[in-house]
Amino acid sequence: MNLLILTPQRPYPTHQGTAIRNFYIIAELAKRHQISLLTFLEADQSPGHGPLEDLCRSIDILPAPTRSTLTRLKQLVFTNRPDMSWRLWSHDFDRRLRQLLQENAFDVVQIEGIEMSPYLPTIKELAPQTKIIYDDHNAEWLLQYRNFTTDLKNPGRWIAAAYSFIQTQRLKRYERRVCRQAKGVIAVSEADKEAILQLDPALKIALVPNGVDLKLHSQHPAQSIPVDLVFTGKMDYRPNIDAMLWFGQEVFPLIQKERPQSTLAIVGQRPHPRLGPLRENRAITITGYVDDVRPYIAGAAVYIAPFRVGGGTRLKLLEAMAMRKPIVATGVGAEGFPITNNKEMILVDDPALMTKAILRLLDNPQICHELGKNACQFVSTHYAWEALVPAMEALYEG
């Protein structure tokens, strides 16, 4: 088939979740289909396309648009569309999309994430017979609702809670409309699938979880960076910020009280200013951007996923499991994984109980080894990309 894929950023390098998912989907689809990629180049991305050159028949890339604070405020106040739907609107991108649709006969146009949904009307107008597939990387309305309920508990975050409440209502309406315009919708977890079906039970949805590159993550990196606890992720992403603030302020001090020499590394690009208070703790390292997170994961005794908000299946956990790391996560952090608690990872939501679980692992390498071995076997069985993408292709044929 001839596929056109729209992504919110060039899916290489694979330094964050959206790019990782999009890259491996393209890599798998390219084995059987012709891929045209239309995407944005973010300001901090280098111009080279890397392996995408060999995977795609054509690559069209435009500079990611920027919004002034005033423009964003006007959109928030004077329109009823959710904030996310405005973030990547670009007249230049729309113009290039029109050219591609006029010059090519695509069998499928696949939209990766809600940020790309404003281009749906153009596709419907110029290619009414083309099958549109919407890959919903998160059930966005549910993510915003969780942000709202979490921030509502903290008076210092009530303005953020009000924002999330408004966005939840807008996203419900908007996400429903987007899903209905597509011929098929892709969900990344059962929880997300259920949340999308709440918008419209008649939607045709395929479940395509995030996967992991088993070959890449089973190879031990040339060097490792010793640390007791590690977290990896894009650190201007709200669920990651919340997870690290909660862990750094509510859990890690309890660990240090019992084990003063404990260390924590927070590894990921664009650390948000809200993380500033954590820098006051000398045992916490906030790295910012690194070329490769694997040395940090390899050198860690325990991988943590203390999420309170978010959704989907978290690529960072898949990578840690493939690298045989013991994981301590909250229920939200492990959402989407059909795991057995205390077998593939340890699930705990209470700060004191999480502290106890982590201290037990730090003092027992054999338990860490067993958890890591079980986790690796689990992802090898269920989360290889080549086993996941065929469910997506079934939507193309259906």
In tens, the pLDDT along 354-382 reads 999 999 999 999 999 999 999 999 999 99
Whether 2-211+385-397 shares its CATH topology with 214-382 is answered: yes
pLDDT digits (tens, 9 = 90+) for 32-47: 999 999 999 987 777 7
* Strand partners of residue 264: 229, 284
pLDDT of residue 164: 96
Give the three-state DSSP class for 361: helix
Q: What is the pLDDT of residues 193-244, one digit of tens each?
A: 999 999 999 999 999 999 999 988 887 787 899 999 999 999 999 999 999 9
Topology of domain 2-211+385-397, CATH: Rossmann fold (3.40.50)
C-beta atoms surrounding 161 within 10 Å: 18
Hunting for tokens 């003063």 — which residue is that? 260
Q: Which residues contact 75 (CB under 8 A, 6 or more apart)?
A: 67, 81, 83, 86
- Interval 88-116 mean pLDDT: 98
168-198 pLDDT, tens digit each: 999 999 999 999 999 999 999 998 999 999 9
Cα–Cα distance for residue pair 129/239, rounded to 1 Å: 38
Please list the alpha-helical segments (H only) found in the chain: 17-29, 52-55, 69-78, 91-103, 120-126, 140-152, 158-181, 190-199, 214-218, 238-246, 252-258, 294-299, 315-322, 351-362, 365-382, 385-388, 390-397
Q: Are 159 and 179 in contact (CB under 8 A)?
A: no
Q: What is the pLDDT of residue 312?
A: 59
Confidence of residue 271 (pLDDT cuts 50, 70, 90): very high
CA angle 290, 43, 60 (to 5 degrees): 110
311: confidence class by pLDDT, cuts 50, 70, 90: low
What is the share, in percent, of the chain residues with pLDDT greater than 90?
A: 90
Is residue 22 over pLDDT 90? yes
Q: Which CATH superfamily is domain 214-382 in?
A: Glycogen Phosphorylase B; (3.40.50.2000)
Delimit the domains of the chain by residue range.
Answer: 2-211+385-397, 214-382
Can you read off the two tokens belonging to residue 354?
A: 């999480």
- Write down the pLDDT at residue 313: 66
CA 350 to CA 358: how far, in whole Å? 12
> Which residues, at least 6 apart from 124, have a Cβ–Cβ distance to it below 8 Å?
132, 181
CA–CA distance from 9 to each of 38, 63, 75, 177, 187 (Å)? 9, 9, 22, 23, 20
Residues contacting residue 156 through CB under 8 Å, at least 6 positions apart: none
pTM for the model stands at 0.86
Torsion sign (Cα): 45, 48, 51, 54: positive
